[in-house]
Amino acid sequence: MKILVSGGAGYIGSHTVIRLIENGYDVTVFDNLYNSKITVLDKIEKITGTRPDFRLCDMTERKSLEAIFREDKYDAVIHFAGYKAVGESIEKPLMYYDNNINGTLVILELMEKYGVKNLIFSSSATVYGLPEKCPVDETAPLFCLNPYGRTKLFIEEILRDLCAADKDFSAVLLRYFNPVGAHPSGLIAEDPNGIPNNLMPRIIQAAKGEIPELQVFGDDYDTRDGTCIRDYIHVLDLADGHVAALDYAFKNKGSIPINLGTGKGYTVLELINAFEKVNGIRVPYSIAPRREGDSKSTYADNSLAKKLLGWEAKLNVEDMCRDAWRGAVNYE
């Protein structure tokens, strides 16, 4: 089976490509390398023994993307490509809407034209906004606090409409909670361009001394230690969720959102403590004011993933902290 992976050189994309190859899929990656490096292909080859086909291509450039669809018959597309910085999306909403939504429309139009009827979409728990209650299940109200989140929500709606119109189409909308960690080989890791926004890359920067200290955004929330709760999930568990979702898509039509989370919540301070304990290293931090738009607590009800995909997260928060740190110190 041939799988076309958009943004497959990125953090979650590259880990998923590894798992796809290990599960016997034939993979072609296209990526514009805006937030990733071509060297990741060498590392995928080192880990799996197979180098995926690669095409340098921006999803908004229809001509170059059509050439990729012309050269092979794909059984499915896994769509990771997209800008994903919350703060940047607030400053540059049109850039986000153009790239993420128009780029996705180009992919979908070409899928229809070339008869590719299975899509796994990289959605996000961000579509739940500030959930009323946790654990959050897929029927929770959808509400987005920023343009980045709205691109995910709008693309979900586009896929719901496409599947209503084309009864042969299958779209699994995977709502990721908080991806962290890295492949245990230490060869590939999260490698954000610019200043990372997410907690784990900032913990790592503080642990490495690249920043004087981590700022903990608020310790006055109504939680067990005053800091926000999130559902951190190992990127390899997330990758396995995509392989399971492919299986499901081949056997089922229509669109369906599915949470990919561990179902467990950890506070910011608990994650810092776990990181320090597992890696035997201090993470200097100070308490800073709350960050606008943060939810107090967001963690998944993952029963639908268990039921429909036969998938559940296997790696724990210690594995996430160990692998994240190994990836950071070994990565070049």
In the complex, which residues of this chain contact ligand WQD (CB under 6 A)? 84, 86, 124, 126, 176, 178, 197-199, 202, 214-217, 228, 230, 268, 291, 294
**Residue 256 Cβ vs ligand WQD, minimum distance, rounded to whole Å:** 19
In the complex, what is the shortest distance from the CB of residue 291 to ligand WQD, in angstroms, rounded to a whole number? Answer: 5
Give 27 or 283: the residue with its C-beta nearer to ligand WQD. 283
Looking at residue 130, the DSSP 8-state letter turns out to be S
Determine the Cα–Cα distance for residues 57 and 125; give it in Å rounded to an integer: 27
Strand partners, 260: 176
Q: Which is nearer to ligand WQD, 105 or 211 (CB)?
A: 211
Instruction: State the minimum distance, in angstroms, from the CB of residue 266 to ligand WQD.
Output: 10
Residue 315 CB, nearest approach to ligand WQD (Å): 17
CA nearest to 263, candidates 178, 325, 200: 178
Q: Residue 308, SS3?
A: helix
User: One of 25, 74, 96, 148 is an active-site residue; which one?
Assistant: 148
Q: Which residues, in sequence order, are CB contacts of 164 under 8 Å at separation 6+?
A: none
Establish whether 148 is a catalytic residue.
yes
Q: Which is nearer to ligand WQD, 50 or 215 (CB)?
A: 215
Say if strands 229-230 and 266-267 run parallel, antiparallel, or are unpaired: antiparallel
Number of residue whose CB is nearest ligand WQD: 228
In 199-264, which ranges are continuous DSSP H helix?
199-208, 235-251
Nearer to ligand WQD, 170 or 205 (CB): 205
Single out the residue of 285, 279, 265, 261 nearest to residue 322, CA to CA: 279
By annotation, the residues acting in catalysis are 148
